Structure 1
């Protein structure tokens, strides 16, 4: 009787409490950082080393479980009733997830379904070689090369498939806000902490994105405020005393909006002169970037995002004894650049039954700089608005849109007598026609009216043949155009002492391109994966503006090319994922670039013949330890020397930058990482007598000229040189160690 009473009490208690237990499993689980949330109760937990998590004492009823990982997000609804409920989250590997891309067609689509080839690089890829900005992070992307253009102030641009930086359009969340002035310094101000992924399109994208998207497009997609961690921190420092700090904060405002705040601070203030030319090897910098993105929660579940960023940078390079008191003077040479930038980006889905989106951006960029005694002060304001309508009718997937872009530009050069105001009105349309399960064709065109250049029409076509879900052939063809902003894009026109000659009113550049792509993915029974991505392309330019360093070595002549230029090549990407902890991303590109000017054919300056990149990771899961080996190798490229007497090599050697890193993780919250950058200690001064011409006389006080303006050899100047820092093809920063720590909640 006594036992029956105890049993009755227990049953009554259980019924009164009406509680259950949930046991979950993540499969497969490689000890990634993960947070599991029981939404209604706001309970959170983390998995154990086997990927198992438990919620005890759960009230009966319906519950939502949310799992969040770096590259994975999923929700499941479950119902419990006085029981122990088991739930399984199937996590596909990074390479097996059906990746969604937006860059190639301006709409979300599976990477395997888009007729335009798009390459994806996640934040995990960027962590394999930690850098403080997106410019350096792209050095391990196949066919993409960050090119330094000045030994003193370290200006740079992004080359895609051998084409110079101005032919590469860089967008943030699809908005064309990185252009002209910001292509020189703005790329270094985009911190990796803001990035969810990077999408790369190689070949013209002008029919969707307009001018500048001639050689390719890099779309930087920022993190979703809904999926970001509540708090994150990442700090690293190098043996050169470079310090970088990233902080991230997420908050929810009364179930009306999610806010993500990101802060990046970078400081390098220790002058180094390892090549003993009395000039800084690397530009000294102090910059801060503050980013805030809002995802508004609407009752109709439609999209509304708004983001803003403030960026400020103070950088200088020059003679080792330079300080700000010498700024703009002729006593000690220095190049000092102050950059201030504000950005606003937004996307709003109209509250109608159709998929109609309004996207907008606004930027203000101020630059106050001195290159020796040459002052360059410039301001650029850009306003952009775009309306798109996404509509599917039978087998037609349509996108119609219109856009307006306003640009204000002013500087203190003789090229800008009055401020330049540009208005561009655009209309574009594309139609992807699916003939059958295996075949589809995309037809697109864009009509722009530029108040300086009139009407410009840019069509494109793409064809996709999908043999299987993992075996795809694509061919793309299109045209492109580019409106040139000379002094904002050609930093060589400002630095050094070469005379700048503009011989005519520069016309818009035009191009056409053909790109063939084949993608093959192999999945094996042991859960390993192998992917191949092969592309071949041909691009032809007319009216191209290529700086002429050859006609007169002491001049840079800018004019539309009397002739044509072309670039062609082949690239291969290989992705491998094993079932024993080994991952590899390998790439190689072979290209041939030629320009024909007045019937004479030559290779453009700073264009490599071939390149290769790799990122190899090996994980020891039982030890929570991983190793990354990243690097690149580049073939010879022609360099800008100052005439026949210049003793510097006219062609670069084969060179390589390689890095290694070890990362230790614990508690799903902490990561400690460290390693060595530039293992081979490669710098461009190897086998060269010097890098900067006339570093001992930066103001050319002891240079003599003849009546035609040519430099005369003298005992003090036997090579007939003027001061010139443009001889650069690789980073001038040697081997260095680094160590860092990450933390996230």
Structure 2
């Protein structure tokens, strides 16, 4: 009996104690709709939860007391509220998050190689989440970044549809593309490596416009695109995105998270297939390159003592693409009868990060990529192999309350071999693969001069076996008079050790002969940027403005000469100087009702002043660099979780490569590519979307020169070809795809 009484007393005591605990619950909404995937935390405890697909959250069994309830979601501003919970109380608290597709409060790493709030960074960094790119869904990241103001994917060939990414009018070789801060996509892979990054594994994309050689070394002259992959511990358990278009393009993007205790794994797959021969302009050639691509990604993160970082990732990409005459098949690969451009790509990538088990914060980063390419451009073969090994060790140290020191060293080794003059000896008779070791050391000090002022100084030293000692200093200053105004001013230098392949993909199409006129020297530039960010909170919403003026002066720049001879691309050092200057404006407007506007415009003037045969400086406008360009994304959310997105990009006239006495205009017209999408969100993580791309059906008037004679067998015909035109694939400023519909479905499971 006494045991029964004791049991009763213990049970009653526990029940009474439990009944005195508190709880809090509610819904999280944004843009007039319930928000899924938001996280809620009760500080200073470690109690946290995640809302369900209808935006509902609940935290129970809370001891009475004073807490801070915090809520956050990717792509939205953070929420924080101080609450007092009494014994037995249940608090109903609904939360509204402000949409911030390019939020100023997000953590960024690219500008300074250190994680910090975007508002605190002395280097302006633009941040874009998958939510932003989903406003106009694309099967690959190469197309998606075209939604960013000042960033332009440039197709360099109308047949194989390969290209690179221009920032502020500067060619692709000046854009450094990082994955998790490491130079995975560079040189040869700038043309092909971006196509296979699964969107399902991308957490955010950070963009820095302007040189960053003092931290990242060679290639970071025009800007940086850093693809940050998801942390497996925070990714959805399952995510799937399937999309198809009326052109019969099919894309599958999926990822699965696995938790094994102290290790979490994220496995992603991207499969893209387009196998329809379409020739709407009736020139006998495919309007869009046929492609079959598969990309596999696996990343592991490990729990360690004191939350030290340890992760490793592996990606494999295999792609088979071809474009050409509509009756081409693989039997004609390499022949001179039916023209086709066929590209086989195999690629492996390995990335890893490890924080050393010491008191100080010392990070080790490693990466390796292997890229094999087997291509035919008509009857011209291009076979290449590239391997890049990279290692970096840096020390992140807080000194007092004012200084944040970064000290490190890196080593990058690039092996490159192909069957072109790029890897031939001086006589052109013997193959000499390029082996380029590039060691470097860097130091950076971020000095807080007060609540409103911050000064960043940096210096990098690299040594190249051909070009010797390379010095890259940088200085940046940030002034924030209040929370809504920020000024940033920076000066620095940039350099690039030349890799000929990346100069222009047109060099390998078979239409032109590559001529290296002299030994190519490293490219050097001096740069300045002035940025002003303004936030205007109003009773009816929020207005954000971001203005940047940029100026770069090149003392040497390697530019392909298309003008001297229509059958050649001539590479030599710049005899004069080159300038890239301009100004860009971004706006982000949110209203009290569920409507949001994001828009931007860029004016740029990119040219070189080069001495002609008479020794006088001559102004030459850069190819594929429109003076005016811009983008917009308008979003309205209706009740019942319906959303409409209207997006678009516009470009002003840009100079194009033309032949002598060419009937095609030297400058492209103004054009706009508009898109519309309707999205419906359902319970339990389901999402249905569809719309129209290229809403106004814009297609370039001119594409190929002499498509009926792609092997130039009949160019020496004074009657039918009096101007001596040759087959040409480089006259390109927009896709030949016209209007098309698309439909897709997404699913995300969090648990």
Query: Does the alignment reach a TM-score above 0.5?
Result: yes
Aligned to 2:599: 586
1:15 corresponds in structure 2 to 15
Q: Deviations over 1:650-670 (max 9, x none)?
A: 110001111000000010411
Over the aligned positions, Cα root-mean-square deviation in angstroms equals 2.9
Indicate the residue corresponding to 2:91 in structure 1: 86
Range with bigger deviation, 18-27 or 571-580:
18-27
CA distance in 2, matches of 1:720, 1:371: 21
Q: 2:471 aligns with which of 425, 445, 457?
A: 457
Distance change (3 Å), C-alpha of 1:153 and 1:47? closer
* Matches of 2:686 and 2:328, distance apart in 1: 41
Residue 26 of structure 1, CA deviation: 3.8
Q: Is the 8 A contact 1:496 1:725 kept in 2?
A: no
- Distance in 1 (CA, whole Å) between partners of 2:48 and 2:309 is 27
Deviation at 1:487, TM superposition (A): 2.5
- TM-score normalised by structure 2 residue count: 0.91
Q: Which residue of 2 aligns with 1:315?
A: 321
Determine if the alignment matches structure 1 residue 702 to structure 2 residue 714: yes
- Residue 3 of structure 2 is matched in structure 1 by none
Contact 1:496 1:726 in 2 (8 A): no
Equivalent in the alignment of 2:643: 626
Q: Is the 8 A contact 1:180 1:489 kept in 2?
A: no
User: What is the DSSP-based 3-state SS (H/G/I as helix, E as strand, rest coil) of the residue aligned with 1:214?
Assistant: coil
Return the offset for 1:482: 0.8
Which residue, 150, 155, 166 being the options, matches 1:143?
Answer: 150
Asked whether the equivalents of residues 68 and 227 of structure 1 are also in contact (C-alpha less than 8 Å), the reply is: no
> Corresponding residue for 1:4?
none
Structure 1 residues 70-79 or 289-298, which shifts more? 70-79
Gap change, CA 1:722 and 1:347, over 3 Å in 2: same
Q: Summarize the alignment of residues 102-501 of structure 1 with structure 2, pairs less than 5 Å apart.
A: 102-254=109-261, 256-394=262-400, 395-416=402-423, 417-501=431-515
Indicate if the aligned counterparts of 2:172 and 2:502 stay in contact, CA closer than 8 A.
Answer: no
Conserved? CA contact 1:28–1:92, under 8 Å: yes
* Residue in 1 that maps onto 2:557: 544
Separation in 1, partners of 2:230, 2:548: 29
Over 3 Å counting, the alpha-carbon distance change for 1:336 and 1:524 in structure 2 is same
The alpha carbon displacement at 1:223 in A equals 1.1
- Decide whether the 8 Å contact of 1:496 with 1:723 is kept in 2: no
Among candidates 715, 725, 735, match of residue 731 of structure 1 = 735
Cα shift at 1:501: 1.4
SS in 1 for 2:189: helix
Displacement of 1:319 in angstroms is 0.4
> Which residue in 2 is equivalent to 1:24?
25
8 Å Cα contact 1:18-1:59 kept in structure 2: no
Distance 1:12 1:604, change over 3 A: closer
- Shift of the alpha carbon at 1:140? 1.4
CA contact 2:494–2:525 (8 Å) conserved in 1: yes
* Structure 2 unaligned residues grouped into runs of 5+: 1-7, 424-430, 612-616
Q: Contact (CA 8 Å) 2:85, 2:91: kept in 1 or not?
A: no
Distance in 2 (CA, whole Å) between partners of 1:543 and 1:162 is: 17
Indicate how the Cα distance of structure 1 residues 588 and 412 shifts in structure 2: closer, same or farther if over 3 A, else same.
same
CA distance in 1, matches of 2:311, 2:543: 37
Please list the CA deviations of residues 469-500 of structure 1 after superposition, one character each: whole Å capped at 9, or x if unmatched. 22011111110011111124421111142222
1:34 equivalent in structure 2: 37
> What is the rounded CA distance, in whole Å, between the counterparts of 1:699 and 1:384 in structure 2?
41
Cα drift, residue 346 of structure 1: 1.1
CA distance in 2, matches of 1:69, 1:741: 21
| Distance change in 2, residues 1:382/1:130 (3 Å) | same
1:99 equivalent to 2:106? Answer: yes
In 1, are the aligned partners of 2:151 and 2:168 still within 8 Å (CA)? Answer: yes
Counterparts of 1:381 and 1:48, CA distance in 2 = 44
Q: CA deviation at 1:184?
A: 0.9
Q: Does 1:600 align with 2:604?
A: no
Query: Is the contact made by 2:584 and 2:600 (CA closer than 8 Å) also made in structure 1?
Result: yes
Partners in 2 of 1:388 and 1:330 — Cα distance?
53
Would the alpha carbon gap of residues 292 and 79 (structure 1) be closer, same or farther in structure 2, given more than 3 Å must change? farther
Q: Find the residue that maps to 1:433 and give its secondary structure.
A: strand
Cα 1:469–1:703, aligned 2, differ >3 Å: closer, same or farther?
A: same
Stretch deviating more after TM superposition (358-367 or 85-94): 85-94
Q: Deviations over 1:197-235 (max 9, x none)?
A: 111111110110010000111111111111111001000
Q: CA-to-partner distance for each residue in 1:372-417, whole Å, 9 max, x for gaps? A: 1111110111110101111121312111110011111111123312
1:315-372 deviations in Å (ceiling 9; x for gaps): 0000001111111111211000010111111111111111111111110011010111
Unpaired segments ≥5 residues, structure 1: 1-7, 705-712
The separation in 2 between residues aligned to 1:45 and 1:123, in whole angstroms, is 19
Give the match for residue 674 of structure 1. 690
Seen in structure 2, the aligned counterparts of structure 1 residues 637 and 37 have a Cα distance that, compared at 3 Å, is: closer
Q: Distance in 2 between matches of 1:602 and 1:452?
A: 29
Distance 1:340 1:287 in 2: 10
